[in-house]
Amino acid sequence: METPRTTFEGPRPIPFQAPQGDLAILSGTANPLLAQHVATALGVSLTPCRAHIFSEGNVFVRIKENVRGKDAYIIQGCHFPVNDNFMELLFWIDALRRASAQNITAVIPFFSYAQGDKKDEPRVSIRARVCADAIEAAGADRVLTMDLHSPQIQGFFRVPVDHLYGRQVLAEHVRRLQIPDLVVCSPDVGFAKGAAAYANLLGTPVVIGNKQRTDHSETVEVLEVIGDVKDRNVLLVDDLTITGRSLIAMAETLKKRGARDVYAAVTHAVLSKGASERIAQSQIKLMFVTDTIENSFDPLPPNVQVVTVAPLFAEAIRSIHERTSISMLFPDGRPICP
């Protein structure tokens, strides 16, 4: 009598569908160009979908193709109009969940409410936590974002958060320019670790600015620069700029301290009304920004250059989809958190 086999020899010759499902990339209205570039880099087509805003401001979203069982990524930033874009993101997540997508990743190139990370005044809301709860309640399984203003916001979520760094792309762009005698400068002590990470990537020294704000008027006063910039070209770095005033004030101070040319590298160019004109007339020779934000209040000035982060987002999505390590995307393997 033949002995029954109790072990299996190797994998199935014809595998079932991948556990994570087929890849589906969707674009909200906030980042259509970035989403298209990400899809192109991944070699897939955008999943057809539609968002419509009714006359009274009500937002309607609809996915126009079957996503049942798919690994879905909705690309929707939360920049101006912040509340409209955030609500649209929640509706896309809910639509994907009700359409039976297997996994839902909210790809948020710029998460504006990341600035509301703490209760630093009496009787104020911790807005980032409220947004994190809303994203989870809508049905997101994962969040993919870039340069959170406060990295500890990752802890506000109970779902996994993959945090990308725009400095990887911006530093490579600056390196190709071969700017001599370069030193990296943080406009304040809050971004000192981020500046150190830039300096590590570029192989340059780092100096730190000291500034203060006394209210919510978005004005700034530069108090001092810690470090020597005389006869050096300086690269100002930050995660975001809204009015441009911090960078402009720091650039003026650096020039007074004997710096030659002042450059700037900023991941998120929010650039509120009037910021473009101020930057155009400032001491900043060139400013490098990413395309995490597509719409601006004013046309970008001639001294601002846009560097795309679509390939980085595409590789991160590929890593999540294929269940490989995202940390391998960073040259040092273990990025320094700003």
Angle, CA 280 vertex, CA 81 and CA 170 arms, to 5°: 70
Catalytic residues: 211
Dump the DSSP string for 126-170.
Answer: -HHHHHHHHHHHHT-SEEEEE--SSGGGGGG-SS-EEEE-THHHH
pLDDT at residue number 335: 45
pLDDT at residue number 216: 56
Mean pLDDT by 10 residues, the chain (338 residues): 52 55 95 98 97 94 97 97 96 98 97 88 92 97 95 92 96 97 93 94 93 58 82 97 93 95 98 96 98 92 97 97 87 48
pLDDT at residue number 86: 97
Domains of the chain, earliest start first: 23-164+311-325 (3.40.50.2020), 167-290 (3.40.50.2020)
Q: pTM, whole model, 2 decimals?
A: 0.89
pLDDT at residue number 16: 46
pLDDT at residue number 189: 85
pLDDT at residue number 4: 54
Structure tokens, 268: 């998120």
pLDDT at residue number 27: 98
pLDDT at residue number 334: 45
pLDDT at residue number 67: 97
> Is the separation of the CB atoms in 171 and 202 below 8 Å?
yes
